Structure 1
């Protein structure tokens, strides 16, 4: 038996004509496992381009967002600039309240010149609470009025578990949000005001001959574009980090890490997972027909459902199987309908899991059919 086995092996090696053993087909490697972020209260990884949550550990539980509150302060500042209420080179009058703001500071003071652009750097790089107070007073006239704007904007963004009490993030009873809420806010800031990335990722800046360093432990690294750090209490650090690579952008949010360094290490692992474990894929171009709804009491009888914009999703690497679309009609769908009206949603599924949901619209207008049209539709259906 031993000789036979040896002879068989020689035949396989010595001549290709005898190589009858097929090359085995190996299974595709499994997707990269998500990192387990331990020792923190919550962690969320969000894909900015597709608005997909790639990792969620306790991301919907409310905590004190501490300094991450400044993301909304920055959002409202950029919004005010866009509305020409303030200009980047405009000089701001510093109040005594801003001068004496506790916590992290950029060291502004009454009578010392400071511009909106300098306040923006102080807010986003070293998390200056004095900058936050000065910005709030400049935009809304008072801190209280600015906080009202913050909560109004949070409601408009759908951040229902978020409530702001101040613009600087100093621990205050009633100030709450979630890691997912802060990730959504960070995405809105990056998408609507991309110029924030030109400042928030800087390692340092100088104001009044004082060099201030970014509290973000990942700032200055290749691809890192911001965003904020906060200290909720003792050893209880919050961190929001944005990064871009190969046309993709991600946001990692950590609540309750034991130190800034630990928060940075965890966020770095999350970003690595997002960039290397997931890939972006366009599944539908704008105007793609994804469903047709047919009713004999409609005129025309068939409604074509299309994507209003191109739909892109993030899927795990390596790609195994295709992304499927599942149309879900609005249960209150009624005619008449105008072309372009939303008629439902499209679930994008990968291996049975819903990756994201997008609105879809009517391609053609539809009206209620008259009695003759309904009769004709029934006759056509009977053929």
Structure 2
């Protein structure tokens, strides 16, 4: 069956209406960092973005993905907190005390509990901890990197690339602020029992007491975790952080700051601005039909789509905002179709910015149609293909 993204990718375009009654002042916010994004974790609404899809050097924020693979192994029972990994010469020499970078100060050939290594990774930002975890789980750092990129793709990090588990710069080490914020949201939602390590303010290992490098934890703004990163002046200073206030969680990612002070201040200002200037609006209830998707070769020509959860969006307080929504899918959808199958997504835009993306599922099943019906659909799709080809100027 032919598929025509240009013809069927956007099926339904509709206005969600003006919400509020006063001009918006929220978009007046500006930040000095070149790459930034602020999202609401509860609704997935993008509250602010600047250069969020441009590449940035992650430095030690790459350790968030390193931790994700460890947390996944723990959650699946493939690893235990009391398991021990051996500190290799590579981990000690490349990431430990001899290297002069951020380190947990692991002793060569020592055996260290996974839980201690996690704390060394996310609190002390130990490069030696990152390499030891990578080697312990995958056998070699290179094998772990392969897993990192595979896992990133599974999580929808389609642009970001990872070259090592601890943050050393290189051509294969690049991320976007948007995707790192997405990774942070996944970590918080999927691994609450392990995410807590990111919020511990200090850790002592080998009689060396080190403070958590995340400056947001000391600012009394409800911050509870994630990572900073910096290699050199060229890489700039980055931070992926999260905070909660009055039951609302925001996630911030900033990259390319010129100093540690600028990084901390800009992240703090973004979070405070987000908490003060937005309110939640409900668009659709869970299970409420949102719009149809066209079905090919079925007993019905379309199927209604809905969302498993309430669809809510954060808007500037008192704003007169007109939102536009569209159902996006690659289609038409081929019958038979199961009820509850994810076949597309809802995109909500405020102005030119996509502020919300929500997966959509089918409300009901659609069985395969009769042979005459399938033949009719085939003729229709062939005609549609010819029209699409003509309009796009293709031969």
Q: Indicate the TM-score class for this superposition, using the shorter chain for normalisation.
A: 0.7 to 0.9
Aligned ranges 1:295-310 → 2 under 5 Å: 299=299, 303-310=303-310
Query: Higher mean Cα deviation, 68-77 or 156-165?
Result: 156-165
Name stretches of at least 5 consecutive residues in structure 2 with no aligned partner. Answer: 1-20, 374-395
User: Alpha carbons of 1:114 and 1:319: their partners in 2 closer, same or farther (altered >3 Å)?
Assistant: same
User: Alpha carbons of 1:85 and 1:110: their partners in 2 closer, same or farther (altered >3 Å)?
Assistant: farther
Query: Higher mean Cα deviation, 192-201 or 362-371?
Result: 362-371
Query: Between Structure 1 and Structure 2, whose CA radius of gyration is higher?
Result: 1
- Partner of 2:213 in structure 1? 215
Rounded Cα–Cα distance in structure 1 between residues aligned with 2:157 and 2:294: 37
* Deviation readout 1:127-183 (Å, 9 max, x if unpaired): 110110111011111111111111111122232221111111022343111222222
Is 1:98 equivalent to 2:97 in the alignment? no
RMSD: 2.9
Rounded Cα–Cα distance in structure 2 between residues aligned with 1:224 and 1:315: 22
* Deviation readout 1:257-304 (Å, 9 max, x if unpaired): 121111000000111122112223332222112235799x96457744
> Is this contact kept in 2: 1:287–1:307, CA < 8 A?
yes
Residue 29 of structure 1 and its aligned partner are, at CA, apart by 5.3
Point out which structure has higher relative CO (alpha carbons under 8 A, 6+ apart): 2
Residue 188 of structure 1 and its aligned partner are, at CA, apart by 1.8
* Deviation readout 1:296-338 (Å, 9 max, x if unpaired): x964577443323322222222253676654456532343333
User: Alpha carbons of 1:211 and 1:278: their partners in 2 closer, same or farther (altered >3 Å)?
Assistant: same
Query: Higher mean Cα deviation, 250-259 or 351-360?
Result: 351-360
Is 1:84 equivalent to 2:77 in the alignment? yes
Is 1:60 equivalent to 2:53 in the alignment? yes
- Partner of 1:13 in structure 2? none
Task: Give the TM-score taking structure 2 as reference length.
Answer: 0.78
> Is this contact kept in 2: 1:322–1:350, CA < 8 A?
yes
1:175 to 173, 176, 179: 173
- Partner of 2:332 in structure 1? 332
Task: Give the TM-score taking structure 1 as reference length.
Answer: 0.81
> Is this contact kept in 1: 2:88–2:109, CA < 8 A?
no
Rounded Cα–Cα distance in structure 2 between residues aligned with 1:78 and 1:261: 31
Aligned ranges 1:307-318 → 2 under 5 Å: 307-318=307-318
2:184 to 183, 186, 201: 186
Aligned ranges 1:324-363 → 2 under 5 Å: 325-328=325-328, 330-349=330-349, 354-363=354-363
* Deviation readout 1:164-209 (Å, 9 max, x if unpaired): 1111102234311122222222222222112344221222111232
- The 4+ residue runs of structure 1 with deviation greater than 6 A are none
- Partner of 1:257 in structure 2? 257
Rounded Cα–Cα distance in structure 2 between residues aligned with 1:265 and 1:366: 53
Name stretches of at least 5 consecutive residues in structure 1 with no aligned partner. Answer: 1-26, 374-383
